């Protein structure tokens, strides 16, 4: 739970993973903002593509941030492509901006949705794939839902929230620091009305700072359960029992909102897709442990869903 608060708002915040490489690799620039990596299997006619959308913060195509390297999304992409599914994963626009030393402080949540739409449209216009799926991880789940409507053949929510992000924050802060719970609720209520405020405790400044509030207002206008109701396509919802950031109940909310969706809960899988046998300390440390393999059940579940 504690780790979620550090990561979520940093805007400026089959078992094939051990096999030999069975794919080709190509770097692609989709737009002026988006660069990514396309992996294409050498074992089939490359008809199916899975687009992987990263979670919150300045997350790159591999699932890594500044001082956190786990390569979770890279491992996900490689494992799926080794199973015969083409994958494209990309850096969030803020990653490119940081590299160029020109960070846009006016970036909005909708910009991430536009970027995801650009990626989908790029590959649709290429007309190489008979089916395109979107895999949205964490914040990328909501981004992917919004970009996928009426555009792709299937959607996979991976550790995505079911509640509005404002409500998620209230729950997380209340559990971590109960005395700040009421203040968090008050601020969230203001932001949900589309207003900003300068009245917030210093302890919450990293979450509700003046620069972040417009982004949060934009993000809070979306309720994931309402968005997923509108998706008329095969849907797979996945969560792990050791996820410190997004609980199983969030996945269950998404499932309830779309009765046609398939829900898969993976025992011991955490937020960065590793299977954790130990305590919360081991869990938190794993965010920076790239030697770990991702969950084999996760790969099996996604592969079966896409190929069925």
Residue 182 falls inside a structural domain: no
Residue 217 falls inside a structural domain: no
Residue 175 falls inside a structural domain: no
Residue 179 falls inside a structural domain: no
What pLDDT, on the 0 to 100 scale, is given for residue 67?
87
Mean pLDDT, the chain cut into blocks of 10 residues (308 residues total): 42 45 93 96 83 96 94 98 96 91 89 98 94 98 97 98 95 90 96 96 90 95 98 98 94 97 98 96 96 98 96
What pLDDT, on the 0 to 100 scale, is given for residue 45?
62
Entry field: residues in the chain: 308
Q: How far apart are CA 71 and CA 61, in angstroms?
A: 9
What pLDDT, on the 0 to 100 scale, is given for residue 275?
97
- Residue 299 near residue 73 (C-beta atoms within 8 A): no
Q: How far apart are CA 159 and CA 180, in angstroms?
A: 26
Residue 37 falls inside a structural domain: yes
Q: How far apart are CA 99 and CA 92, in angstroms?
A: 12
For 247, the domain range is 2-164+222-307
3-class DSSP assignment, residue 237: strand
Residue 265 falls inside a structural domain: yes
Closest of 107, 112, 63 to residue 89, by C-alpha: 63
Closest of 222, 44, 50, 59 to residue 119, by C-alpha: 50
Q: How far apart are CA 182 and CA 170, in angstroms?
A: 8
Closest of 4, 9, 3, 57 to residue 214, by C-alpha: 9
Q: Which backbone phi and psi does 182 adopt, to 5 degrees?
A: -65, -40
Tokens standing for residue 136: 């949205």
What pLDDT, on the 0 to 100 scale, is given for residue 207?
87
52-to-2, 133, 138, 254, 276 alpha-carbon distances in Å: 26, 9, 11, 19, 23
Taking residue 38's Cβ as centre, other Cβ atoms within 10 Å add up to 22
| Domain at 139, CATH number | 3.40.50.1820
What pLDDT, on the 0 to 100 scale, is given for residue 3?
42
Residue 189 falls inside a structural domain: no
Helix and strand totals (H; E) in the chain: 13, 8
The number of domains in the chain is 1
Tokens standing for residue 93: 């626009």
Residue 102 falls inside a structural domain: yes
């Amino acid at each position: 739970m504690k780790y979620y608060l550090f990561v979520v708002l940093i805007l400026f915040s089959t078992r094939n993973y051990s096999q030999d490489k069975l794919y080709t690799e190509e770097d692609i620039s989709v737009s002026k903002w988006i660069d990514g990596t396309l992996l294409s299997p050498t074992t089939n006619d490359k008809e199916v593509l899975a687009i992987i959308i990263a979670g919150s913060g300045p997350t790159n195509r591999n699932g890594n941030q500044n001082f956190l390297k786990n390569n979770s999304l890279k491992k996900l992409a490689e494992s799926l492509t080794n199973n015969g599914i083409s994958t494209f994963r990309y850096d969030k626009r803020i990653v490119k901006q940081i590299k160029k030393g020109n960070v846009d402080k006016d970036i909005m949540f909708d910009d991430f949705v536009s970027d995801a739409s650009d990626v989908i449209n790029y590959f649709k216009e290429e007309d190489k794939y008979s089916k395109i799926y979107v895999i949205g991880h964490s914040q990328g789940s909501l981004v992917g839902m919004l970009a996928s409507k009426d555009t792709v053949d299937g959607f996979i929510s991976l550790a995505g929230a079911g509640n509005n992000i404002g409500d998620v924050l209230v729950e997380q802060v209340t559990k971590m620091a109960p005395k700040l719970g009421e203040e968090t609720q008050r601020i969230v209520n203001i932001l949900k009305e589309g207003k900003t405020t300068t009245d917030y405790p210093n302890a919450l400044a990293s979450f509700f700072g003046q620069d972040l509030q417009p982004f949060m207002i934009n993000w809070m206008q979306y309720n994931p359960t309402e968005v997923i109701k509108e998706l008329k396509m095969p849907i797979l919802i996945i969560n792990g029992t050791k996820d410190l950031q997004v609980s199983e109940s969030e996945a269950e909310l998404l499932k309830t909102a779309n009765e046609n969706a398939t829900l898969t809960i993976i025992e011991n899988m955490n937020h960065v897709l590793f299977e954790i046998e130990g305590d919360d300390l081991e869990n938190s440390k794993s965010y920076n442990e790239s030697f770990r393999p991702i969950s084999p059940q996760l790969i099996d579940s996604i592969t079966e869903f896409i190929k069925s």
